[in-house]
Amino acid sequence: MFRHARSNRVFEDVVDQIQEAILEGKLQVGEKLPAERELQAMFHTSRGTLREALRVLEQRGLIEIKRGVSGGAIVKKISSDEMSESLALLIRSQKVSIAHLVEFRKDLEGMVAALAAQRATDQDIKTLNALLHEASTHLSAEEPDWEAFIQIDRQVHLELARITGNPLYRLILHTIHTNIHRYYDLFLPKSAANRQEEYHNLCEIVQAIADHNAERASELARAHIFRFANYTNQVDFH
């Protein structure tokens, strides 16, 4: 299955070969890799280099290294958890600037809204309108619930991603909207006027989707993101 690693890039070659074997299905989920001594002989490499390569593969979520007599490197089911967690940490630690976050979101969520307008079913529209109705109850309450309203806003965005049918949009937007609250707390004014404007934006987006007007839905979604950027004074809209 494996050949001697190239002498000028031993470490990278070991990682690449094992990774490709997993991605191509030559190594199946739950299957144990050969013992360290066998792998050293196959790759013609040192124990230290091999172990470092296995640690990288473990960090990528491709294998799990179990200790003990019956342990070893076992192929894991590939998931999006590692990528999602890395993005979440960047957002929560505010290592991503507001300007970069807005720039990324306006393009991504503009595309998502356009696709949702093209692909939404009658049931999808009912679901979106039900969320808007729930949002309105929070706004009209004697003591409006800001946090509950923000959660509805989040659900609308995630629902649009679901409607696209594209799992990549769902994964990325779920990670962003699950971890973006720290920015909301820092920048968004918690006023009745702000909540009403936010609600009006959501209603317009949903109406454009109900009308299957992709261009309008994209335009409104981008404007929705720009509103957030406006409060930070960090994005040039021109």
pLDDT tens for 131-187 read 999 999 988 877 778 788 888 988 999 999 999 999 999 988 988 887 776 666 655
CA-closest candidate to residue 62, choices 73, 48, 52: 73
Predicted TM-score (pTM) of the model is: 0.65
Measured CA to CA, the distance from residue 209 to residue 170 in angstroms comes to 18
Q: Structurally, how many domains does the chain consist of?
A: 2
3-state secondary structure of 64: strand
* Other C-beta atoms lying within 10 Å of the C-beta of residue 86: 10
**Structural domain range at position 222:** 80-233
Average pLDDT score, the chain: 84
Judge if 71 and 91 occupy the same domain: no
Residue-level pLDDT at 8: 61
The per-residue pLDDT for range 12-26, each reduced to its tens digit, is 899 999 999 988 889
Judge if 17 and 98 occupy the same domain: no
pLDDT for residue 83 is more than 90: no
Q: Residue 108 falls within a domain, yes or no? A: yes
